[in-house]
Amino acid sequence: MTVGKDVSMLFTDVLNCVQTGNIELKKLVYLYLINYAKTQPELTLLAVNTFVKDASDANPLIRALAVRTMGCIRVDRITEYLCEPLSRALRDEDPYVRKTAAVCVAKLYDIAPELVAERGFLEILHDLISDSNPSVVANGVAALSEIAETSGRDVMKISASVLQKLLAALNECTEWGQVFILDSLAKYTPADGREAEGIIERVTPRLQHANAAVVMSAVKVILSYMELMGSQNSDVIRALTRKLAPPLVTLLNSEPEIQYVALRNINLIVQKRPHILEQEIKVFFCKYNDPIYVKMEKLEIIIKLVSEKNIDQVLLELKEYATEVDVDFVRKAVSAIGRCAVKLERAAERCIGVLLELIQTKVNYVVQESVIVIKDIFRRYPNRYESIIATLCDNLDTLDEPLAKASMIWIIGGKLALAILFFAIDFSSEACIY
């Protein structure tokens, strides 16, 4: 087939090759039918007999191929013929056929959920979780997870026996199978802290996995169970916290796209448990060649991890960022300095000092962003830093953005209103005396 061109007009010719005995050619024909069945639904029905026949073939690869193809062809009338071959495939002696059929149940549910319920396919999927083959277990879990997401119902129903099957399969299935199993474990509620600790012990080795998705899924399980363990297991929680930091830091050595996904997840983690990475703030300092979307995420994490211990180091870094050429990043860096001041009262004066240094650069967008964040600092700490208003007024001519102008009006207007109020009080007091 020619890539990028419509070859649907060849449907009849390709269909004539469907009964070929060459498995490689059959794969290509079936792939063609999957892609173009919707354009020729009536002609696709002519291949049904071949599908049904192949679903009983002596070669397990052909049996699996036939069931998978029928599941991927989204034509209602094909679905009617799928149930019987699918039912046999789910109980097939070959694990490759069973694991293919498990995924097919999820595809069938998307088209005809009532058929899945009527034929008892959900119950069979639950049986597959106890299968002796770990790949079949993983695909059974993946199918049930997809059905749960589609239906909005909890169809997984992990019991104590199912839990042990999942943990046993975790060590033997493929990396993507591990992701499905770990994601299902994250939704399970352990009976008590002891059970949660036992599951965490089985999951913890996945933190060293080469696949970033496996690592993040393992982190999700551990964090979920840490919440359930509570303060009674403080020593265990501290030990787990130390184990979580290295794999999260390692993810930042990947390509930018994986870094970004990792950073988005880390951003959520540090909102709940900042102490996990409080000693690792340096790894979130931006590199000159980081893409802008990575830099922005790193800034958000730096703000969440900043403390009185590292504020001087962070301010030096943010001041450096404020001299870069990317305007959006510079604005974000200046805003970050203001957010640090609002977060850390004892460091507010140092943050204001850095902002005043940036204002002296006379760079238009730097001055305007500085005025905006100083307004927030004034709101957080009223009547503390009025001495810098004169410096702000020296840069009134620089302000041309509405938000910066509004912030300056608020700063000056607030002080002016306060002065008028004091004057009125003094005047009324003197009037009372006389």
Tens digit of pLDDT for each residue in 117-169? 888 899 999 899 888 899 999 999 999 989 988 888 878 878 888 888 888 88
Q: What share of the chain is helix, strand, coil (3-state, %, to 5)?
A: 80, 0, 20
Q: Specify the pLDDT at position 259.
A: 92
Residue with tokens 């639904």: 41
Q: Specify the pLDDT at position 98.
A: 95
Q: Specify the pLDDT at position 416.
A: 52
DSSP string computed for 247-302: HHHHGGGS-HHHHHHHHHHHHHHHHH-GGGSGGGGGGGSPPTTS-HHHHHHHHHHH
Q: Specify the pLDDT at position 230.
A: 66
pLDDT digits over 42-97, tens only? 777 777 888 888 889 899 999 999 999 888 887 777 777 888 999 999 999 999 99
Q: Per-residue confidence at 344, pLDDT binned at 50, 70, 90?
A: very high
Q: The whole model's pTM is what?
A: 0.78
Beta strands in 40-156 (DSSP E): none
Q: Per-residue confidence at 422, pLDDT binned at 50, 70, 90?
A: very low
| Backbone dihedral angles phi then psi of residue 57, each to the nearest 5 degrees | -65, 155
3-state secondary structure 57-121: CCCHHHHHHHHHHHHHCCCHHHHHHHHHHHHHHHCCCCHHHHHHHHHHHHHHHHHCHHHHHHCCH
- Range with the lowest mean pLDDT among 6-15, 50-59, 198-207? 6-15
Q: Specify the pLDDT at position 6.
A: 59
Q: Which phi-psi region, left, alpha or beta, contains residue 152 (left: φ > 0; alpha: ψ -120 to 50)?
A: left
User: What type of residue is 314?
Assistant: V
CATH architecture under which domain 1-120 falls: Alpha Horseshoe (1.25)
Across 339-364, b (16+ Cβ under 10 Å) vs e yields: bbbbbbeebbebbbebbeebbeeebe
Cα distances from 12 to residues 9, 28, 72, 185, 362, in angstroms, run 8, 14, 19, 47, 72
Question: 338 or 26: whose pLDDT is higher?
Answer: 338
Domain map (residue ranges) of the chain: 1-120, 201-304, 306-434
DSSP H helices in 278-361: 292-305, 311-321, 327-343, 348-359
pLDDT at 7 over 70: no
Mean pLDDT of the chain: 85
Cα distances from 350 to residues 206, 313, 341, 372, 394, in angstroms, run 43, 12, 8, 17, 21
Per the structure block, which two tokens stand in for 372?
């905006």
CA atoms of 318 and 406, how far apart (whole Å): 25
Segment 319-323 shows an average pLDDT of 93
Residue with tokens 């970004």: 260
